[in-house]
Amino acid sequence: MRTWLVALLLIGVATAGAMQMWRRDGDASGDAPVALLADSDRDPEDAGAASDDAAERPTGDDVAETPAESVEGESEAPAPLVVDLDESTGERTASASGSLAGEVGDGVDRPGGAVALAEGEARQKAVALVDQAARSNDPIEQARLLTAALKAGALDKAADEKAYAALLEANARGLLNPRLDALCMRIEVKRGDSLWAICKRAEKEGQVPVTPGLVRLLNGLKGDNIYPGAKLKIPNVPVSILVEKSKFRLSVFVGELLLRRYHVGLGKNNKTPEGEFQIKTRLIDPPWFKPGVGALPPEHPENILGTRWLGFAEKEGFPEAATFGIHGTREDDSIGTESSNGCVRMHNPEVEELFEWISEGVNVVIRA
């Protein structure tokens, strides 16, 4: 029995020694088992310490650049993508560091880049206005949206022409519809009234100069005959003209709505003045006072004024403004060119139409 106990004791001592040797060998070789703890099993303080340690590591521009060791047969690693946040706009711009700076998307302005972007955004807004007009059932609202899209000048030629055609159709159903009162007031015709008398009364009541031709247009009248008791539609918003020299275009507005636009000719060597003017004189078949010659009657073949003249008033600091105006021409080929002495030229049939709607005092803006 005593011999049996001694044998068991010797076996236990040997086993313990073998286990210690196995552990030492495992630690030295890196093969010792590692305890894997789930995140939920870790000590919260240990986890916090790990987070703090990560937060203290330098990032972004704080990291010193260390040249990477190139491996023969392998390409260098691509430059990291840097995303910056513009605090003023909230927009993010992405760029590759190093040699890729200045490429598309890096937020760096390049010649023409900002202009192209602005033009693209303007075109998108104009197209959106046209789409919004197409969804509207209100012809006045349609005309307002289409006017805004056309005034932006950002549509391509085909889209611009289509939008203008849609505007004319909307005006026929809205502004020029005798039954709709938008942008207009009503004046009742009294016994003995004429269209001129109605216009004078309308100007006094609405503070807006009006012509018989515009009253005929808004009320669908074919002539000057009016009848007592009729209530005529009279605009209570001003008519105005915009000339865009870069487009060789003259546009007529009733309030904020575009009524018509025309192709025009301008002054040679950029002689057509820019600024704001007022219509002062209205002449049918005007004579032309040719420098060094004198007055040429309207039927004279050298009279360059055509069938109508809408002359500007003098303005402070520019008394010569009274020598400029809008007129017709027999030289139809000059429309769309710079060939006049500074006046705005129109085809005779078109200036005759414009003349019917424009009274003294109408504002004219001429811009580049």
DSSP annotation string for 121-133: HHHHHHHHHHHHH
Say if strands 325-329 and 344-347 run parallel, antiparallel, or are unpaired. parallel
The neighbouring-strand residues paired with 99 are: none
Q: How far apart are CA 312 and CA 303, in angstroms?
A: 19
Eight-class DSSP state of 299 = T
Q: Which residue in 184, 199, 300, 343 is the catalytic one?
A: 343
- Residue 269, both tokens: 């060597």
Q: How far apart are CA 187 and CA 24, in angstroms?
A: 112
Q: How far apart are CA 215 and CA 196, in angstroms?
A: 10
Say if strands 363-367 and 325-329 run parallel, antiparallel, or are unpaired. unpaired
Nearest Cα residue to 23 out of 14, 32, 34: 32
- Residue 103, both tokens: 């490429």
Q: How far apart are CA 356 and CA 310, in angstroms?
A: 11
How many other CB atoms are found less than 10 A from the CB of residue 269?
A: 8
Q: How far apart are CA 281 and CA 298, in angstroms?
A: 16
Residue 315 burial by CB count (10 A; 0-12/13-18/19+): exposed, middle or buried? Answer: middle
Helix (H, G, I), strand (E, B) or coil at 239: strand
Helices (H) and strands (E) in the chain, counts: 8, 16
The verdict on whether 300 is a catalytic residue reads no
Q: Which residue in 184, 263, 300, 327 is the catalytic one?
A: 327
The verdict on whether 343 is a catalytic residue reads yes
Catalytic residues: 327, 343
